[in-house]
Structure 1
């Protein structure tokens, strides 16, 4: 059963030019009660996320996968973290994301 990352829950929302939203999280297939990276510096031990927690990807990458080609020209909003790591920035650029914002996405307009 999937569950949130115990260290830090991150949610990424891709909002396309047409207003469609695609959400990804850094969820885990094998969630833990204590993070195996506890005590490590930021950016260290990511291999444990995959090997122990079975995290399939960072929230940004999972949102980009959900959006597919619709990510081109879109904006991505990242909640629960204060930055995007270099691999996620690269993935966003490769997908054609034009704006990466740290913070909540704008509310949906009905």
Structure 2
């Protein structure tokens, strides 16, 4: 059973130039009631204890694959993207990174 990170829920949405969306989240395979990391501690326990697949940004990148080139990434639930995630996003060809929600997609109403 997987669940949300006890410390903070983070989402990353990669929106391609064609409007396709790929979402990653920092879910845990073994969610904890409280975060096992001490303040300032690295993310090793996220993997070893919580079974986190990765940061939301890396999960979204894995889902987007080559379609990330030229895309725009949006990170919600955090005030920044860590240096490693920034390097991975831009290394994959993501053109822009915004801290905040992606634009709302509005469906066209039938005529």
TM over 0.5: same fold? yes
**Larger Rg: 1 or 2?**
2
Provide structure 2 residue ranges, at least 5 long, that are not aligned to the other structure.
none
TM-score normalised by L of structure 2? 0.93
- 1:30 matched residue in structure 2: 30
Distance in 2, matches of 1:34 and 1:14, equals 29
Distance in 2, matches of 1:61 and 1:83, equals 14
Q: How does 1:1-110 map to 2 (within 5 A)?
A: 1-37=1-37, 39-41=38-40, 44-110=41-107
Distance in 2, matches of 1:52 and 1:30, equals 7
Distance in 2, matches of 1:108 and 1:17, equals 14
Q: CA RMSD in A?
A: 0.8
Shift of 1:56: 1.0
Q: Structure 1: which 4+ aligned runs deviate by more than 6 Å?
A: none
Shift of 1:13: 0.1
Distance in 1, matches of 2:4 and 2:76, equals 14
What do the CA deviations read for 1:38-85 (whole angstroms, capped 9, x no partner)?
Answer: x412xx230010000010100000001111100000000000000000
TM-score normalised by L of structure 1? 0.94
